[in-house]
Amino acid sequence: MSNEALQPIVCQIFKSQVQLAPHPSDVTPENRFLVIRGKHNILRWILPVNPKEGLAGLQFWEPYDLASRIKWNTILTAYKLGQLHHLPGVQTIGVDHVDFKQWSHLTGRENQMAYTPVVYLAEPSPRQKAVVFLVNPSRQECQFVGKFPLGAIAGRKINHEAEMLIHVGEQHAGIAPSLCHQNLLNGTSLQTAQAFQGTGRALTTQHVEWLLQFHSGKRMSVLAETHQLIQRLTTLDTLPDPIQRWAIAQCERLNRHPMEVPMVIQHGDFAPWNLKRLPGGALFAVDWEEGKIEGLPLYDLVHFCFIQNYLRGQQLNIVPILLKSLPVQNYIQALSLSPDYLRWVFRYFLLDYWCRQLEERDEAKAQQFYLAIQPILAEGD
C-alpha cells in the first residue's frame, strides 16, 4: 500500500497534521508503525513497532475460525520476537508531526497523558469502523477503546451502541463497557477497556443466567414485531418484487401465532467473540451496536447458536438442537415460554437478520444468507 493511499487513513486516525515520512528510519522508533493488510490488500491493523505496547491492545482481539486463529498466532509470535515486519503483507511506516496526547476527537477533552494507538479497521462495508485501543505506554495496558466511523452508516451504529451502553450501565453496571464520551455529530465514542479472557463457544448455564437478568417485568406482543418487520421489508428499494413478496408472506405466517411474551434487553449480536470473562469469572459483553432495549426473549440464544453453525457450514435448522439444550430449556422455563414460541422466534430471527443485511446495503452477504435460509423457511409451507 502506497503512502499516498495510507495518508488520509492515518490523518483520520490521529486527527492532526500528521505526515507519513518518506522512510520509517526518518522518525524516532515511537513514531514507527506496522501496517498489516488482509485479503485483497485491505488495511486491517496499524500497530506500534514496540510489541510491549501493541500487545496490550491486541489482547482484545479473538479470531473466530481455526484458519484465522493459526494465522493470528503466527502474527503474534512474530510480533513478540520483533520480526513481524518480515511477514508478507506487513509494511513499516513512519508518522511525523504526531502528538500522542492529541486524542480529543475521541476523548472529548485535552489529554495530559500520551497514549499509543493500536488500530483495527473492520472490513469495508457501509458499517465499517475503526477501533482504536489507547494504550498507556508506561503501564503497557489498554485503558480506553475508541470507535469512529469509516462507512456510510457506521456513525449511526456507533451512536446507537453508545445509547445502549448508557442504558445497560444504569440498569446493570459492570456487565458491559462504560461510556466515557460520545460525539453524536461525528459518530464517535470512547469506552472503558477491561481485562478479560475468552468464554469459549459452548452455550452454558452461565450464559442463560446472564441473559435472564434483562427481563424487564413488562410484556410485549410478537405481532407488533412482525408488523414492524413487514414495514422494514416494504421500504427496501433494492429488493426484487418476487423476493419481497416471498418475505412478506413469511412474515404473514408469523402473524398466525399471536402471543405475548416477556420483554427483555436484547444484545443483538450475542456470540462468543462478543462475550468475555472477567477476572472474577463474571460474563462481560462488548459490541452492543445491534442492541434493543425492548427486545424479544430467546433471540440472543438463537443468534448464539445459529451464527456459529452458519459460519462453520453446519446444520442451520437449529430448533431441534435448541429444544434438547438444557441451558435453553432452563431459559424457557424461567420465562414461561413455549416450544411454539421458540420455533416462532427462530423464523423471526432469520428474517430479521437478513433484513438487517439488506438495510445495511451488504447485498453480497444478504444474497448468500437468503439462499441459506430459504429452504429452512420453506419447511412447513
Q: What is the pLDDT of residues 260-290, one digit of tens each?
A: 999 999 999 999 999 999 999 999 999 999 9
Are both 233 and 363 inside the same structural domain?
yes
Using DSSP, state whether 88 is helix, strand or coil.
coil
Are both 92 and 28 inside the same structural domain?
yes
Please give the residue range of the domain that contains residue 232.
Answer: 198-378
Which burial class, exposed, middle or buried, applies to 311 when counting CB atoms under 10 A from its CB (0-12, 13-18, 19+)? exposed
* Domain stops at, among 120, 135, 151: 151
* CATH classification at residue 208: 3.90.1200.10
Are both 126 and 219 inside the same structural domain?
no
Task: Please check whether residue 285 lies inside any domain of the structure.
Answer: yes
Q: Share the mean pLDDT of the chain.
A: 92
Task: Please check whether residue 171 lies inside any domain of the structure.
Answer: no
pLDDT above 70 for 380: no
Are both 230 and 361 inside the same structural domain?
yes
Q: How many domains in the chain?
A: 2
Q: How far is 224 from 114, CA to CA, in rounded Å?
A: 50
Residues with Cβ within 8 Å of 369's Cβ and at least 6 positions away in sequence, in order, are: 310, 353, 354, 357
Are both 204 and 141 inside the same structural domain?
no
Kindly write down the DSSP assignment for every residue of 152-169, as one continuous string.
Answer: TTHHHHHHHHHHHHHHHH
Q: What is the mean pLDDT of residues 100-106?
A: 88
* Sole residue written with cell 464520551: 181
Which burial class, exposed, middle or buried, applies to 92 when counting CB atoms under 10 A from its CB (0-12, 13-18, 19+)? middle
User: Tell me: the pLDDT tens digits for 199-216?
Assistant: 889 999 999 999 999 998
Backbone phi, psi, residue 282, to 5°: -75, 155
Q: What integer pLDDT is reported at residue 327 of this predicted model?
A: 97
User: Tell me: the pLDDT tens digits for 326-368?
Assistant: 999 999 999 999 999 999 999 999 999 999 999 988 888 999 9
Task: Please check whether residue 345 lies inside any domain of the structure.
Answer: yes
* Sole residue written with cell 499509543: 116
Q: What is the mean pLDDT of residues 1-10?
A: 73
Q: How confident is the model at residue 247 (pLDDT cuts 50, 70, 90)?
A: very high
